[in-house]
Structure 1
Amino acid sequence: MTSTRYREDLDLLKAAAIEAGEIALGFFRRDPQVWWKEGNSPVSEADFAVDLMLRDTLVGARPDYGWVSEEMQPDDARNISANRFFVVDPIDGTRAYLRGENTWCVSIAMVEDGRPVAGVIAAPAMGEIFEVTADGAPLMNGAPCAVSQPGEGEPLRLAMPDSMRKRVESSGGEAFVSEPAVPSLAYRLALVASGRLDGTLIRPRASDWDIAAADLLIERAGGLLCGRAGTPTIYRSEGRRHDILMAASQTAMPRLQRLAKAVPD
């Protein structure tokens, strides 16, 4: 890869994501212990093991960077005023992971001035790794990737949760091809960035760690991840949840925004 301003950070993220994937694979399909968080969301000993390794590795290498993670506890917050911080989902798609499905991933981003500038999404059970910097090409397994560019008359290939799909299908808007809704949001967005989906709708309450790395990947691949207003997301070191989001190529986005009108906030 051509050297970029963020190359050293990307190298750190990529090495950490690969090691994290190996740890997760060590628990995969081996009945790891599971606990239940608020909202009936599962978390496993694999999530905690990966999160601990990533925190030790990333913060150890960049002690002046902040830290935002899905599994962090209230007293884990550090450097919340930091200009640069990591945004981490140790295992995105934990439900799929616990069912023994392959479509889960490790998602790591480094944010600077409110926007991700380096990101890695590693899907080890799929044999895929995505990497990107704000001034470099988006790569999938080392090769450049790009969003699809469907023609105006072509139905969009879209993935979304069933509740959203039913509303969109019954709205009388333009027809689209409904693809399976991948449980891992980060990996689903990577499918958009690599052109295997034309777009996706994302239900409200997605968190920064679900989307930060994929946001940059999609942007550099020629697409956009945004809310109804069509503006890029600003990330803060305390983390936050989002309203409805959508992702597609710049040319397909207006069509996706029209379809999204059928879905309430």
Structure 2
Amino acid sequence: MWRADLDLITEAAQAAGATALGFFGANPKVRFKSEDRSPVSEADYAANDVLKEKLLVARPNYGWLSEETDDDPARLRCETLFVVDPIDGTRAFIAGKDVWCVSVAVVHRGRPVAGVLVAPALRQLYQATAEGPALLDGAVLKAPGPAEERPLAVALPEDVLARLPEPARRLIHRVSHVPSLAYRLAMIADGRIDATVVKKNAHDWDLAAADLILARAGGALVDLSGQPLVYNRESVSHGMLLAGSLAAQRRLAAAGLG
């Protein structure tokens, strides 16, 4: 049902990624947002323009939510909308690090139904629809369950690890920071890490596409009560979250996390 939308967002995300790549390593102009002092570059805006033009021309009845567009409450009246982060991992992008991606999702009735992550500097393409498998460059992904005897490879900040229950801390081998949250979730889907703890205040645009890709690979992104996320609410930020393969989530829950 959502294959045509997947094709559309894939083409748009690849075009936006090519635009952003033209600024990569070229000292793009940067400013800091007044609300949270997070950086935004001219590449973010240029990629956003590409996405908005390609997607809303093709689906004018869809709503729009993007990190780099002023929020329009009209999206709340839309059953279906695009949820976009033109560059997820802007700090890495500005620093010349290659772990950043273009994140585009179609969200229908609060849940992602098509999602794409394009990582241009890494030449990787992650895709999923609600009916099909997660794909990395066309190959099917399956988040593997970690062996019971080994520690879990978990990406999380040191301050978060320090606040976890002792049984959970003993279970975890901490993976150093991955600057793009969307890409971090994709790393669970492709089996490079087992789980991640997401600090509060992640936003819909950071999560929606990667949430679907992880789910279709056999993992899950949930809040600390174990519930899946609902997107396109009035508030688009979320509390602390846990993402992982189902086996990793079970082991972390048994150790007191979640």
Q: What is the TM-score with the length of structure 1 in the denominator?
A: 0.92
CA distance in 1, matches of 2:157, 2:53: 34
- Matches of 1:260 and 1:213, distance apart in 2: 28
- 2:8 is matched with 12
Choose which of 193, 196, 199 in structure 1 pairs with 2:192.
Answer: 196
Number of matched residues? Answer: 256
Q: Distance in 2 between matches of 1:10 and 1:183?
A: 25
Q: Which of residues 212, 216, 231 is equivalent to 1:216?
A: 212
On the 8 A contact 1:208/1:239 being kept in 2, the answer is: no
Cα distance in structure 1, aligned partners of 2:96 and 2:80:
35
Shift of 1:258: 5.1
Residue in structure 2 matched with residue 92 of structure 1 by the alignment: 88
What is the CA-CA distance between 1:248 and the residue it aligns to?
0.8
Q: SS of the counterpart of 1:125? A: coil
Deviation at 1:238, TM superposition (A): 4.4
- 1:57 is matched with 54
Q: Which amino acid aligns with 1:21?
A: G
**Counterpart in the other structure of 1:140:** 136
- What are structure 1's unaligned runs of at least 5 residues? none
Determine if the alignment matches structure 1 residue 248 to structure 2 residue 238.
no
Helix, strand or coil: the match of 2:211? Answer: helix
Q: Is the 8 A contact 2:186 2:210 kept in 1?
A: yes
Rate the CA distance shift 1:148–1:241 in 2: closer, same or farther, 3 A: same
Corresponding position: 1:40 with 2:37: yes
Structure 1 residues 58 and 259, CA gap change in structure 2 (3 angstroms) = farther
Distance 1:165 1:243 in 2: 17
> In the aligned structure 1, how far is the partner of 2:232 from the partner of 2:8?
21
The correspondence for 2:225, drawn from 229, 233, 255, is: 229
Q: Percent identity among equivalent residues?
A: 46
In the alignment, the residues of structure 1 paired with residue 147 and residue 30 of structure 2 have an alpha-carbon distance, to the nearest angstrom, of 45
In structure 1, what is the equivalent of residue 166 of structure 2? 171
Aligned partners of 1:85 and 1:237 also within 8 Å? no
Partner AA of 1:221 in structure 2: A
Q: Is the 8 A contact 2:21 2:121 kept in 1?
A: yes
**Structure 2 unaligned spans of 5+:** none
SS of the aligned residue for 2:103 comes to strand
Q: Is 2:103 the partner of 1:120?
A: no
Deviation (angstroms), 1:172 = 4.9
Question: What value does the CA root-mean-square deviation take over the aligned residues?
Answer: 1.7
Following TM superposition, by how much is the alpha carbon of 1:236 offset from its aligned partner in structure 2, in angstroms? 1.5
